[in-house]
């Protein structure tokens, strides 16, 4: 079967996954998209978030890009997201980046220094 597993529930899955992100953790768009069945659907995740973040009451602030940084533009949520993450215990380095090795969801690379 060459049928591609069209996941019409992609959006629903994404929402569910985001809701499953534990507090104090962050997930990347690509990670969520992959778990939802579309390894290349990172952009769609962002679109879904933008569309339903307020309606579905999703912890959108726990979703960041693969660099561990916030993709939002300043004065447009960037500061808000950063603040929310810091409020949950997430730490940003001097590059405004989160250590995915420690806070990355499903990627808890325990450094245990």
Partner DNA sequence: CATATGACGATAT
Partner DNA sequence: AATATCGCCATAT
Range in contact with DNA (rule: CB under 7 A) among 68-76, 85-93, 103-111: 68-76
CB of 47 to DNA, least distance (A): 5
Look at the alpha carbons of 56, 59, 61, 65 in this order and tell me if their dihedral is positive or negative.
Answer: negative
Contact 30, 66 (CB under 8 A): yes
Tokens of 98: 């989160």
Q: Which of 19, 50, 57, 101 binds DNA (CB under 7 A)?
A: 50
**Binding status of residue 105 toward DNA by CB under 7 A:** no
Using CA of residue 107, residue 100, residue 40, residue 72, what is the dihedral sign? Answer: positive
Nearer to DNA (CB atom), residue 56 or residue 102 = 56
Among 16, 20, 71, 107, binds DNA (CB under 7 A): 71
Which stretches of 20-109 are DSSP H helices?
29-35, 42-52, 78-87, 100-103
Which parts of this chain interact with DNA (CB under 7 A)?
10-11, 28-31, 38, 40-47, 49-51, 53, 60-61, 63, 65-67, 71-73, 77, 81, 95
């Amino acid at each position: 079967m060459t049928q591609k597993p069209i996941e019409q529930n992609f959006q629903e899955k994404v929402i569910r996954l985001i809701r499953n992100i534990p507090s104090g953790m962050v997930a990347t768009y690509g990670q969520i998209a992959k778990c939802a069945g579309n390894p290349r659907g990172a952009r769609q995740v962002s679109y879904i978030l933008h569309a339903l973040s307020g309606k579905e009451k999703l912890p959108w602030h726990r979703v960041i890009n693969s660099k561990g940084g916030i993709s939002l533009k300043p004065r447009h949520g960037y500061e808000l997201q950063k603040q929310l993450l810091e409020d949950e215990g997430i730490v940003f380095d001097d590059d405004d980046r989160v250590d995915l090795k420690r806070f990355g969801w499903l990627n808890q690379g325990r450094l245990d220094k």
